[in-house]
Amino acid sequence: MSWCPPYRSSKFRHVYGKASTKEHGYHGIPITHSVHDNHYCSVNPRFIAIVTECSGGGAFLVLSIHHTGKVDPQHPRVCGHSARVLDVKWNPFDDHCIASCSEDCTVKLWDIPANGVYQNMTLPRKVLQGHSRRVNLIEWHPTARDLLVSSAYDYKVMVWDVSVCDSVLRNPVCVISLHTELVLSMSFNNDGSSLATTSLDKKIRVMDPRTGRLIQVSSSKLHRANKVVFIGDQNMLFSTGSSPWNQRQITLWDPDDLSEPLSEEEVDGGAGVLFPFYDPDTHILYLAGKGDGNIRYYEISSEKPYVHFLTEYYSLLPQKGLGVMPKRGLDVSSCEVFRFYRLVTVKDLVEPLSMIVPRRSPKTFQDDIFPMTAGNEAALTAQQWLSGINRGPVLMCLKPGSRIANPYPETLPRRGLSSFQSGGPGETGSTEQAFLQEQLAYQDAKYPREPSECPPPRTESEVSGIGCHEGLPPNVKRLYILSVLNIKNTFLIWSCTSPFSPQNSFNSLNSECSKH
């Protein structure tokens, strides 16, 4: 008789969660009080966006990913909606473009400046007006540029081509009217050729997003589905929900046959919605409950029993929602394979949480846990996808110094702010400089000073006083302090923002900076 191991061998069995230290979290953020079961947070390697509570309309906060610590309560926000914001999503192919939807029945696209939001933004780049009731969900297409899907309380799912030049769009390319109840979640498959949804009728539907044709609908009465996600390229669907006995459940399906699940398991008797997050590179599925402090993770395989429990992260702080950093923004030098941004309303805190694979030599690139992954280049244009072409994502290597090789050169180049390319893993200097510029621009907007208010020094004593930063204009004093703190590339900003035009008036100041 052959020996069988007591547990399934896996290189991810010992993955553990590491919460950030206090100085690396985001404090003092008035997280929204909305009761919808959304994430309210979206992240990319440059920015983090959080839906916030406000009066007289809807708003969300956009911060540099390095803007950690205490956040100014008066920090400028994106506040162009006339009602509460319900969802935000960054464009996967443009780190400066974000979409938001609101109770004002609109979807809006915003171009975030490279230096961040330093004054309140009220004018979007595009407004999508098609829904008759409040819009609760939005999703970007995973491989095609400029394609966005929205759902609303009118029970309709709309597909938008946002590459058109009009600033106000009223005609979506497809309107899907298959639902009789509110849509609760949406998920594309690997190449974006199929769309899965769940709704208040507790059913899972798989449809063709181009035509709106229904492909499959679940009929099981033993699983009331709430959230659904496609399992990468394994041709599976994973859903969370509840049983008839109000036990939280996880269920695995074949999207080609939703009559019976492949696997079904009860989790616990909790009341909060379970959010599923799938990592196609490691085949790990993370399960985070709204109102829970813990996060469970499972490994998904193509053979029975399909779902294998790994371990669990525990915290005493409950989460309202979570954002996820794309793979290209992770720290591969510490073997970080996933990163959450937990919204903790009881402390007005956004807490980064890294999922790490323990290795003896973490500084060496671990290609077995970091395979080629989806990058930030589109595989096809919106027009190509609408014509019936399907393509998988353009892959990139996470090894520092690697570059994306797009096998589809006919795809259109980036436009406008999208020309600001994200650097490879570990390239943080330009991002830190952008954060510095964001802070200076914010301070200048908050405390504006005309150049005439900052005349050049008239005597030698005034020039020498610059070295002691006494009597300096506030913007020059801030630059002096930043240079003392050894922030990278400060000298570039000195030359752009100093009010002193004669070069010889810089001599004393430059000599002081060189000492630091």
Instruction: Give, in order, the Cα–Cα distances in Å from 416 to each of 32, 97, 114, 265, 377.
Output: 31, 10, 11, 48, 15
Q: Does residue 469 share a domain with residue 327? A: no
Last residue of a domain, one of 356, 390, 411: 356
Q: Do 156 and 292 sit in the same domain of this protein?
A: yes
Domain presence at residue 301: yes
Structure tokens at 133: 């009731």
Residues 339 and 486 in one domain: no
pLDDT of residue 217: 96
pTM of structure: 0.80
97-143 tens-digit pLDDT: 999 999 999 999 999 999 899 999 999 999 999 999 999 999 999 99
Beta strands, E only, 44-194: 47-52, 58-64, 69-70, 78-81, 85-91, 94-102, 107-111, 126-128, 135-140, 147-152, 157-161, 168-169, 174-176, 183-188
Q: 96 and 236 in one domain?
A: yes
**pLDDT tens per residue, range 430-468:** 444 555 555 555 455 544 444 444 445 544 444 444 444
Q: Quick one: 191 and 338 in the same domain?
A: yes
In a shared domain, residues 334 and 464: no
Tell me, yes or no, whether 288 lies in a domain.
Answer: yes
Q: Which of 45, 39, 69, 73 is nearest to 421 (CA)?
A: 45
* CB count in 10 Å sphere of residue 221: 8
pLDDT at 46 over 90: yes
Domain check: are 339 and 458 in the same one?
no
Residues 143 and 281 in one domain: yes
If asked whether residues 348 and 461 sit together in one domain, one would say no
User: How far is 56 from 296, CA to CA, in rounded Å?
Assistant: 38
- Taking the C-alpha atoms of residue 30 and residue 50, their distance in angstroms, rounded to an integer, is 9
End-to-end CA distance of the chain: 72
- Please report how the helices 490-497 and 507-515 are oriented relative to each other, as an axis angle in degrees rounded to 10: 160
CA atoms within 13 A on the CB side of 124: 25
DSSP bridge partners of 109: 99, 126
Q: Is residue 437 part of a domain?
A: no
Query: How many domains, in total, are found in the chain?
Result: 2
Q: Among the three residues 325, 356, 387, which one is the final residue of a domain in this structure?
A: 356
Cα–Cα distance, 490 to 438 (Å, whole number): 13
Q: Where are the beta strands (DSSP E) in 307-415?
A: 307-313, 321-324, 336-344, 349-356, 373-374, 395-396
* Secondary structure class of 152 (helix, strand, coil): strand
Residue 364: what pLDDT? Answer: 83
Kindly tell me the number of DSSP H helices and DSSP E strands found in the chain: 6, 33
In terms of domains, do 76 and 214 share one?
yes
| Co-location of 466 and 321 in the same domain | no
Residue 20 has pLDDT above 50, yes or no: yes
Q: Is residue 411 included in any domain, yes or no?
A: no
Strand-strand pairing, 321-324 and 373-374 = unpaired
pLDDT digits (tens, 9 = 90+) for 154-206: 999 999 999 999 999 999 999 999 999 999 999 999 999 999 999 999 999 99
User: Does residue 7 belong to any structural domain of this protein?
Assistant: no
Per the domain annotation, does 165 fall within a domain? yes
Please check whether residues 481 and 336 belong to one and the same domain: no
Residue 336 maps to which CATH number? 2.130.10.10
Residue 507: pLDDT over 50: no
Q: Domain ends where: 330, 356, 382?
A: 356
pLDDT for res 267: 93
Is residue 293 situated within a structural domain?
Answer: yes
**308 Cβ contact partners less than 8 Å away, ≥ 6 residues apart:** 8, 10, 298, 299, 300, 301
| Domain range enclosing 508 | 449-515
